[in-house]
Amino acid sequence: MTQIIILGATGSVGETTFRVVQAEPERVSVDGLVANTQGERLWAMGRALQARWIGLADYAAGAALRRQHPSGAPRIAAGMDDILAEIAASPATKVIGAMSGFSGLLPTLTALENGKDILLANKETMVAAGDLVQKVAHESGQKIIPVDSEHSAIFQCLAPGQPVRRILLTCSGGPFRGRSREDLRSVTVEDALHHPNWSMGAKITVDSATLMNKGLELIEAHHLFSVPYEQVEVLIHPQSIVHSLVEFVDGATMAQLGWPDMAVPVQVALSWPERWAMDSLPLDLTRQPLTFDPPDTGTFEALTIARQAGLAGGLMPTVLNAANEVAVSLFMARSIAFLSIIDIIKEVLNDFADNEEVSGLAQILEADQWARTQAADVAMRYRQ
Ligand SMILES: NC(=O)c1ccc[n+]([C@@H]2O[C@H](COP(=O)([O-])OP(=O)(O)OC[C@H]3O[C@@H](n4cnc5c(N)ncnc54)[C@H](OP(=O)(O)O)[C@@H]3O)[C@@H](O)[C@H]2O)c1
């Protein structure tokens, strides 16, 4: 029986994990669940899974939930400090990292430092602090197992001791595939949230529309698999069936295929190195065309920007991630236009003059904060 914690339990990946875990009561039990504000849903999940504790990062929401449910079963942690203490003390051995954004960094580090493997969906943590997260995992002897579908595919294709020539990250192209920059001037939040293949949280769906999601995944792949950026390429594959490919030095190329369903990478991460049966739809490749194209980096500049930030290294990816989070939330609040997301990120990256090697968490927190403030300032000129 594996005991786990689910970070971001009320989100899209969190709800998928909840279903996977509910189907495996003999194999997985849940010690704790974490969300931000959705107390009643988290409480219901905690009761259904017989969790020992649940935690809301938003202190006021956690305190309110405690007043509503004073019974203490499950116990309710309020605020991030309480949550980090619960994670540190938990007997769980695996933590699903499915919080959205930079907020996942501290719980991820705490889990690794306290003897837990991380099953990581939360790519922003790897983008903002990949070297640090890998260092902490290495020092504490813990594993980082990818849950992001592309990285799960790569993870399943790789074999120990087999040198890689290229990693091919597949990308659906998002809702605006084939559109020109001119077309993108007037797209709305609703248009951007209409992903053709995947049902996901709002932030990652907008990232998929700008293609910044693939840019973040490029940096994530570099850190997870220790591959140079020159060896990671992006391939547009509108059907989202081939989840990514690994080309080995002899030219042999392995791919992992399946319907777009996050339950598979979640379960693979939980079961690895075993495989558990799952009631999933089989592929019918006689009816399913598979097509591949190069990305349109002229219209979707995010890929180039992310690659440049990754190559610059140091704190540049931290700044990229923070500027993107701010710009995406302003777009979702309808304060800026879709194309302004990338314009703001480019300005913030240009303004960042203090790039340096990362030696610790404090530097990352400072760069993240600087980039958030800078992005908000820059965005004032883009408000509509
Ligand atoms: N969705 C997918 O299919 C998918 C696929 C691959 C990778 N990912 C990655 O997985 C992560 C989660 O994505 P998602 O689509 O599941 O996001 P989502 O639906 O927006 O859910 C986010 C979850 O994180 C919680 N959360 C947000 N801010 C928090 C904070 N400051 N402190 C604690 N908890 C916080 C939310 O709690 P509340 O509900 O209380 O706000 C919710 O449980 C992202 O990094 C994304 O890039 C997602």
Please say if the pLDDT value at position 230 is more than 90. Answer: yes
- Residue 77 pLDDT: 98
Question: pLDDT value at position 215?
Answer: 98
Q: State what percent of residues in the chain have pLDDT above 90.
A: 96
pLDDT tens digits, one per residue of 38-67: 999 999 999 999 999 999 999 999 999 999
- Atom nearest to 9 CA in ligand 1: 43
Nearest CA to ligand 1 atom 43: 8
- Ligand 1, CB cutoff 6 Å, lining residues: 8-14, 34-38, 57, 98-100, 103, 121-124, 148-149, 198, 200-201, 203-204, 262
Mean pLDDT of the chain: 97
* pLDDT at position 353: 95
Please list, in sequence order, all residues whose beta carbon lies within 8 angstroms of the beta carbon of residue 10, skipping any fewer than 6 positions away: 35, 36, 38, 41, 42, 45
The confidence band for 344, taking pLDDT boundaries of 50, 70 and 90, is very high
Which whole number is the average pLDDT over 184-203? Answer: 94
94 Cα to the center of ligand 1, angstroms = 18
Q: What is the mean pLDDT of residues 161-171?
A: 97
Which residues, other chains included, contact 165 with Cβ-Cβ below 8 Å and sequence gap of 6+?
231, 247, 248, 249, 251
Question: Best of 17, 36, 41, 325 to mutate for ligand 1, by most ligand atoms within 8 A of CB?
Answer: 36
When pLDDT is averaged across residues 337-357 and rounded to a whole number, the result is 97
Mean pLDDT (whole number) for 322-332? 98
Residue nearest to atom 21 of ligand 1 (CA): 11
For residue 251, give the DSSP letter: S
Q: Tell me whether residue 272 is exposed, middle or buried, using C-beta atoms within 10 angstroms of its C-beta: 0 to 12, 13 to 18, 19 or more.
A: middle
Which stretch of DSSP H or E encloses residue 78? strand 75-78
Considering only CA atoms, which residue is closest to atom 46 of ligand 1? 122
pLDDT band at 198 (very low <50, low <70, confident <90, very high): confident
- Confidence at 331, pLDDT banded by 50, 70, 90: very high
Domains of the chain from N-terminus onward: 2-146 (3.40.50.720), 155-259+280-300 (no CATH), 313-384 (1.10.1740.10)
Return the pLDDT at 13.
98
Max CA-CA distance within the chain? 62
Judge whether residue 219 has pLDDT over 90: yes
Q: What are the pLDDT digits (tens) for 89-106?
A: 999 999 999 999 999 999
Residue nearest to ligand 1 atom 20, measured at CA: 201
The predicted-structure confidence for 132-146, as pLDDT tens digits, reads as follows 999 999 999 999 999
Closest Cα to atom 31, ligand 1: which residue?
Answer: 103
Ligand 1 center–CA 159 separation, angstroms: 30
- When pLDDT is cut at 50, 70 and 90, the band that residue 72 belongs to is confident
Q: Is the pLDDT of residue 257 over 90?
A: yes
280 pLDDT exceeds 90?
Answer: no
Q: Is residue 281 over pLDDT 90?
A: no
Q: How far apart are CA 244 and CA 131, in angstroms?
A: 23
Q: Ligand 1 mean position to 103 CA, how many Å?
A: 9
